[in-house]
Structure 1
Amino acid sequence: MSAARRGGGRLGQRLSRATAVLGCLLFLGGFVLVAVLYQPYAIPTDSMAPTVRSDDRVLAHRVAGAEVRRGDVVVFRQESWGELPMVKRVVAIGGDTVACCDEGGRLLVNGRPIVERYLDVGEPASTTPFEHEVPEDELFLMGDRRADSLDSRTRLTEGEPATVPRDAVTARVEATVWPPDRFGLLPRASGFADLPGGLSQPGPFRPLLWAIGSGAALILLSVLTGPLLRGAARIGEGDGPRRK
């Protein structure tokens, strides 16, 4: 076998091994970072439908309460609301005056009507009128199924503290991962974009998903091409001069 052919065979095998190593790094590294940066959560009720529904599995990006913006869907734990973590949408933050509703049935934040495209078509922003000034470092929370959500409005009518401290938030829901037909990122709450502070920046879920998928593809490519390269090398060795 010629030196060029032997060199080509060795180069192909090295490339195959390098592809496998890179694939493993991307695949495993992506999974590790998802486990570190995100927490899984099972949605217990339909109070956040249609954004997330009962028995959906979601991934929530671990964030500090100071990072929360209007429109975020957050996981929080507050003893006065119950023992278990809860999921609601932030519709107003400290210093805001939140009210409902205008003539079009829309939520008002600091007098501005908010278009909430994540609500069911035709559903008003609230089935009961209210107005509340949110204390500093507190959050006013509502479910997306406004007719069937126990949230800050409910506590207002019961004479209880209606808001939740920012530091009660543990994570921001970013994606639905189960069932498969609902897999994907949550839609952005664009109706809050023009308010001071704007919207939260997306977390790293999309690039991490890309890394995991790319890693899996590279591993598969290595598995498929490795035997072909080794077979080609063996065939090349058989082409060399033979003694009689």
Structure 2
Amino acid sequence: MSGTIRTKDGHGRLGSVLSGLAVAVGCALFLGGFVWGVLVYRPYTVPTDSMTPTLDVNSRVLAERIDGAEVKRGDVVVFEDPLWASSPMVKRVVAVGGDTVACCDGDGRLTVNGRAVDEPYLGPGIDGRKTASGEEFSATVPEGSLFLLGDDRHTSLDSRTHLEEAGQGSVPRSAVVARVDAVVWPAKGLLDRPASFAGLPGGLSEPGPFTTLLTMITAGGILVFAGAAYGPVARLLGRRSDGGRAGAAGTGAGAGAGSGAVKRTGTGTGAGT
């Protein structure tokens, strides 16, 4: 009998330990992922439609805090340049220092150092065609600078607008404050890195830790919930189990009492006889 009680208590203690461990690990993952995200990312709201269809007006994005030296072609960046605007702007990098960028080839595509670049993220124009620009241009990007275009080439005010200025419309790398990694509202997840830039020197940038952070926060939340729910669930199941045993014991006792009454009646009859 005592051995049964110790076994039950042992299971209860083990469950409590595992429950506490799940909550502790879950809190560490959840808070760690959240703090890491705050340190790595900055939230921004896209103010205009210049980056549609990639980024809609009022989209909420997470932009990785990076140095401008890390930026590569195809990246969507947040930058601050007082010659462009008084607030942060969001554009796509299509050329870097030393590149000659021009538009358009016979198929309406952008060229970088003479190589045509397919841009699947562009939206169709009024005529239904995807063209890299409504007007022709050519520029050589100074070293340490970036040539930036919006994905909506028909409405975006970008490097093409500043071609007559020093640097032929380019922006210093030092003006970049972050690189857009994911769209959180509406939920689109990670931005794709356009493969068409992969064949150019320098290749593409690597995504930030958004997926890892999301996994940590989600797993942490699940562990905290599961660990916290263990106690109430275990008590509920325990009460049901105790109730079932008590009911079975009561039934057994009633059956035993009825059996004794029959025996006593039988005995009484025999004595009378």
TM-score by length of 2: 0.82
For 1:235 and 1:44, locate their aligned partners in 2 and report how far apart those are by CA, in whole Å. 58
Match of 1:30 among 30, 33, 37: 33
1:25 to partner: Cα distance: 1.0
Tell me if structure 2 keeps the 8 A contact 1:17–1:222. Answer: yes
Are 2:177 and 1:170 aligned? yes
In the alignment, what sits opposite 2:113? 110
In the alignment, what sits opposite 1:16? 19
Are 2:148 and 1:141 aligned? yes
Tell me if structure 2 keeps the 8 A contact 1:61–1:173. Answer: yes
In the alignment, what sits opposite 1:210? 215
Greater Rg over alpha carbons, structure: 2
In the alignment, what sits opposite 2:204? 199
Tell me if structure 2 keeps the 8 A contact 1:13–1:229. Answer: no
Are 2:31 and 1:40 aligned? no
Tell me if structure 2 keeps the 8 A contact 1:174–1:203. Answer: yes
Secondary structure of 2:34's aligned partner:
helix
The structure showing larger relative contact order (alpha-carbon pairs under 8 Å, at least 6 residues apart) is 1
1:63-142 superposed matches below 5 A: 63-121=66-124, 122-142=129-149
In the alignment, what sits opposite 1:242? none
Tell me if structure 2 keeps the 8 A contact 1:23–1:219. Answer: yes
For 1:103 and 1:184, locate their aligned partners in 2 and report how far apart those are by CA, in whole Å. 34
- Deviations along 1:43-80, whole A, 9 cap, x unmatched? 00000000001111100000101100000000000111
In the alignment, what sits opposite 1:224? 229
Tell me if structure 2 keeps the 8 A contact 1:9–1:233. Answer: no
In the alignment, what sits opposite 2:255? none
- Deviations along 1:67-124, whole A, 9 cap, x unmatched? 0000000000011111101000000000100000000000000000001011114220
1:231 to partner: Cα distance: 5.2
Runs of 4+ in 1 over 4 A off after TM superposition: 230-239
Q: Which letter does structure 2 place at the counterpart of 1:217?
A: I
Q: Which letter does structure 1 place at the counterpart of 2:189?
A: G
For 1:229 and 1:21, locate their aligned partners in 2 and report how far apart those are by CA, in whole Å. 19
Q: Which moved more, 1:68-77 or 1:220-229?
A: 220-229
Identity %: 54
Aligned-residue CA RMSD (Å): 1.9
Q: Which moved more, 1:162-171 or 1:116-125?
A: 116-125
Are 2:7 and 1:4 aligned? yes
TM-score by length of 1: 0.91
Gap regions ≥5 residues in structure 1: 240-244
Q: Which letter does structure 1 place at the counterpart of 2:143?
A: E
